[in-house]
Amino acid sequence: MSNQNLPTEQVKTPSLWVAIILDVLGLVTFTIPGVGEFGDVVWAPLSAFLFARFYGNDKLAKWGAIFNFAEEILPFTDFCPTFTIAWFIRKFQ
């Protein structure tokens, strides 16, 4: 049996709304005084894990998860909407 008839692995992409909500969740930690940086310590690994799960197992997902983790864990960098940017890259690549 040849592998030519098997479907290729589809590239994963969450909906745009999911991407936006996850980016907003990354900003929410700063709306509660005193929680900002502690919230990022919890959110950064979870966010990177979700990024990798939602965007598959290719270069975009791997580098995106690393960038997402760094963006969430470093101070004053939470403004970058990494999930939404990745959604647009996936949609228009």
Can you tell me the distance from the alpha carbon of 68 to that of 11, in angstroms, rounded to the nearest whole number?
19
Q: Which residue has the higher pLDDT, 31 or 19?
A: 19
Mean pLDDT value of segment 7-36: 78
Report yes or no on 59 lying in a domain.
Answer: yes
Which single residue is written with the structure tokens 């909500």? 21
- The structural domain count of the chain equals 1
Report yes or no on 64 lying in a domain.
Answer: yes
Each residue's pLDDT tens digit, 49-79? 999 999 888 888 999 999 999 998 887 787 8
Q: Are 49 and 65 in contact (CB under 8 A)?
A: yes
Report yes or no on 42 lying in a domain.
Answer: yes
Q: What is the mean pLDDT of the chain?
A: 83
Report yes or no on 4 lying in a domain.
Answer: no
Report yes or no on 31 lying in a domain.
Answer: yes
Structural domain containing residue 78: 14-92
Report yes or no on 20 lying in a domain.
Answer: yes
Q: Which residue has the higher pLDDT, 6 or 43?
A: 43
Can you tell me the distance from the alpha carbon of 55 to that of 64, in angstroms, rounded to the nearest whole number?
9
